[in-house]
Each structure stands twice: as structure tokens, then as C-alpha cells.
Amino acid sequence: MDTAGASRKEEKTMNKKTTKDNKTICGVCGGEVSKTTITHEEQRGTALYLFQNVLVTVCGACGEIWIDEEVLQEIDRLIKEGVPVRKVETPVYDFSRALPAV
Ligand SMILES: [Zn+2]
């Protein structure tokens, strides 16, 4: 019974490891991913929020970006109660007006 318990435990550990390892391989193309920091844009209604130096996982092959759940929660928190380091005016252009109607 001890042996069975031990092997079951091992299996659990291995499953956990596999889940973690998935983060090193791109879920879209299977390429290698790495950690990097980006400026993330978050649109909430008509307001646009910018987050500098956001740690994300990026695929070196296809450029797909993943943001950790914790980081997304922090973004939500900052929008609600964070104090921005600065504010910028963002010019907005609408292509449906710039191009002639088809
Ligand atoms: Zn990829």
C-alpha cells in the first residue's frame, strides 16, 4: 500500500510539472517562449489605459503574447485604485472616415 501511495504521489508531481512546462512552449505554434516586458494597452469603455514594463510571456516564433492571471488582476486593481505615473493624450483616427466608402 505504501508503494502504491508513493507512485500515486509521484504521478501528481509529474502532472504539476507538465502544466508548468507548458508555459515554455507556445500554445499556438509550439515555438519557444520567453519572458519579456511590454507596454500593455487596456481598453475599458472609451478609456484607454497604458501599463509600462508589464512582464509577459512571448513566443519567439509567432509573437503571441500571454499575460499571467496575477498580472491581469493587478491591472484591474490599478485601474480601480492605482495612481498613474503620468497621463497622455491619445490621438484617435477612424479609418472608416479616412477612406472613401466602398
Ligand atoms: Zn507561437
Å from CA of 20 to ligand 1 middle = 17
pLDDT of residue 24: 86
Does the domain spanning 8-98 belong to CATH 3.10.20.860? Answer: yes
| Alpha-carbon gap, residue 26 to 30, rounded angstroms | 4
Mean pLDDT score of the chain: 81
Torsion of CA 29, 32, 34, 36, to 10 degrees: -50
Q: Which of the four pLDDT bands, split at 50, 70 and 90, describes residue 14?
A: very low
Q: Where are the domains of the chain?
A: 8-98
Rg (CA), the chain: 21
pLDDT tens-digit map of 37-54:
999 999 999 899 999 999
Å from CA of 23 to ligand 1 middle = 11
pLDDT of residue 2: 52
Q: Return the half-sphere exposure (C-beta side, CA atoms, 13 A cut-off) of residue 52.
A: 5
Å from CA of 99 to ligand 1 middle = 33
